[in-house]
Structure 1
Amino acid sequence: MKSSEFVSALELYVLDTAVEDTMSTLRAPPGRRVDEGAAHRSRWFNSLSTDDADLVRQVAHDSAHAAVFGLLAVLDGVRVIDDEKGVFELYYTGSKRSLLNPPDVDLHDLLKRGA
C-alpha cells in the first residue's frame, strides 16, 4: 500500500463514513431507548429545511476532515503531542512491509482540502 492509497482509504472508510453515520443518527437515532440528547438533536435536525440540513452535512464533513487531518499531522510530526517530540512511523504489512509516512511525504497534505 502506498501513502496516497492509505489516505484515500481513510477518506472513504473513516471520513466519509463518519459523516454518513452522523447524518443517519441525526435523521433517526439507533436503539430502542434513545438518549434524550440524541432524540432532541434528531427532532431539531428533522425540522430543518433541505438547505439547512445540507449546511449541517457540510459542518459534519468539515469536522470529520479536521479530525482526520489532525491525526495525519500528528503522524507526520508537524503537530506535536509530546514533550520528547518523538517520531511516529506507520507501517503497512501485506505481501511486503512499507512505511506509509516516510520523511519526504506529508500524509496531511495528501488529504483532499474541503468538500
Structure 2
Amino acid sequence: PTFGWGVWFRENEFQAILDWKKLSDYSQSRLFRQKGGSEYVVVEDFYDYVTSTSFQKNDRIRIEKPSFREIMYVKNMVNREWGKTPHSCILYHLDSLNLSDYSTNEIEAIFCTD
C-alpha cells in the first residue's frame, strides 16, 4: 500500500480511521502538536469541515503509512517465498498524492525485477 491513515483515539478509546491526507495540513498548524514519531495530539477543540469530524483537546491521532523501507521489506519477502514462480508487484491506492511521498528512484526500485 502507498496510502496511509490516521487512527483517532479519545481517552484511549478508538474513535475512527481518518483520511490523513485530508488532515495533513492541520499537522503543521497550531491545532495539533506532534507528540513523538507519528503521533499527534489535538491542542484545542475544533470542528473539521473537510472530514466532518469534531475533535476535542487531547484527542490523539496516530499516523500509519508504510515507508519505502517497509515496502521493500515486503517485496523482498514475497520474492523469497515465490522464487521463480511468476508474480507481480502492484501499488495501491495509486494516486498523485500518495505517490508524492516517494521519490522516482524509490518507485523504480519497487518495480525493479532483479
Higher helix share: 1
Global fold match (TM > 0.5)? no
Q: TM-score range by the shorter chain?
A: under 0.3
TM-score (norm 1): 0.27
Q: Which has the higher strand share?
A: 2
